[in-house]
Amino acid sequence: MKWRKNFSQSKNQFRKFQNLMKSQKLAKKFVLKHVFRNVANLKEDESSFSPTVKHFNMKWRTQIKRLGDYLEVYVICDPIDSSTDEWSIETKLEFKMIGHDGYSMTKSSKHRFETENEWISLDFMEWTRYLAHNGQTILLTIEVNVEIVKMTGVGKKNIREFDESQKDLSDVILVVKGNKFYVSKMLLAIQSSYFKALFFGQFDESQKSEIELNGIELEDFQNFLELIHGESSVYDDTVAGILHLADMYDAPTAIRRCEEFLLGKSKKTLKKKLQLATRYNLEKLKEKCMNEIKTVDDLRSSILLNNQIKTTLKPEKNFLVLDMMIF
């Protein structure tokens, strides 16, 4: 959603836009998935681990452990920065266990990560019945959908501060979840047509010295401000949040910087890049993603976007999409 460059909008229209922004909160979600082998042959107290992956400045992995007749499944979460002391992450977790024949079990939980890891117990003997398969390698797929509700004390170090130390250089205070950012109206207005309308349009806010911004994440706004102030704050963990705000606030320079990162340094998967390109109309990135689709497997990895992809694919790739939708 963008604030269009039309400053004759009525106050009611502006209020509607603000209400829409409140509903566009960007969720912090990801999936941990790993196939564990020879599960039924685990000995008492023996464990097996998935590889470690990084999401939102934290290291994540899953673990299975044999305890008597039970198989325990863990989610392990640790800060990337080992010097981080006081931190916590509130999450919603959905565990899904899938056997070789498609038998599956799903359990959900809420957990606050601090120093303990979340875990659930499964009946090990029950699972060995579903996993055993003519003496072949016994596989168990563990899939955990993670949604981060709240993070405290975790995140990258601020590159630039917008606290009270910047008071003499600012002429407005923006408040996000109780945190105050001391900024320059002119600088934000140059970068964003939304802030130009907010600060210099015919709205009540233009007369206020302190304005609250709703429906956004504190960390995302910090990263957004750093970027439009010339800092290098775009990383794989921050680019989605920055893009979300840059699109909401119609900040073309920030959008361009994010697209340049995704075109070059980003390690995100083709599917993730294509999702961002489609959602935020990043045409150069979309074209690059299309050119990287060479096989049916490549296409399958991004098939969730097939309705949006169809309109931009070359004719020969359109046929691939149609084939996959039919079969």
Q: How far is CA 69 from the centre of its chain?
A: 37
Which long-range contacts (C-beta less than 8 Å, at least 24 apart) are formed by 176-179? 176/212, 176/213, 176/216, 176/217, 176/218, 176/221, 177/218, 179/218
Asked if residue 307 lies in contact with residue 275, where contact means CB atoms within 8 angstroms, the answer is no
Looking up tokens 């020879």, which residue turns up? 38
Q: How high is the pLDDT of residue 135?
A: 46
* CA dist., res. 229 & res. 231, Å (int): 6
Asked if residue 173 lies in contact with residue 180, where contact means CB atoms within 8 angstroms, the answer is yes
Asked if residue 99 lies in contact with residue 137, where contact means CB atoms within 8 angstroms, the answer is no
What is the band of 127 on the pLDDT scale with cuts at 50, 70, 90?
Answer: low
Q: What is the pLDDT of residues 288-318, one digit of tens each?
A: 988 887 765 656 555 444 444 444 444 444 4
Q: How does the average pLDDT of the chain come out, rounded? A: 78
- Per-range mean pLDDT, top range of 71-85, 132-146, 153-167, 307-321: 153-167
Six-digit token string for 5: 């460059």
Six-digit token string for 233: 């704050």
77: β partners:
60
Asked if residue 154 lies in contact with residue 89, where contact means CB atoms within 8 angstroms, the answer is yes
In the chain the domains, ranked by start, together with CATH numbers, are 11-25+156-263 (3.30.710.10), 38-151 (2.60.210.10), 270-326 (no CATH)
Say yes or no to pLDDT of 116 above 60.
no
What is the band of 5 on the pLDDT scale with cuts at 50, 70, 90?
Answer: very low
Contacts of 60 (CB under 8 A, 6+ apart): 30, 32, 52, 53, 54, 75, 76, 77, 146
Average pLDDT of the segment spanning 42-59: 87
Q: How high is the pLDDT of residue 249?
A: 94
Q: What is the pLDDT of residues 243-255, one digit of tens each?
A: 999 999 999 999 9
Q: What is the pLDDT of residues 197-215, one digit of tens each?
A: 999 988 787 888 899 998 8
Q: How far is CA 157 from the centre of its chain?
A: 18
Element (H, E) at 113: strand 104-113
What is the band of 119 on the pLDDT scale with cuts at 50, 70, 90?
Answer: low
What is the pTM assigned to this prediction? 0.61
- Positive or negative, the CA dihedral 20, 88, 28, 234 is positive
Q: How high is the pLDDT of residue 84?
A: 60
Six-digit token string for 108: 């959900």
Q: How high is the pLDDT of residue 232?
A: 85
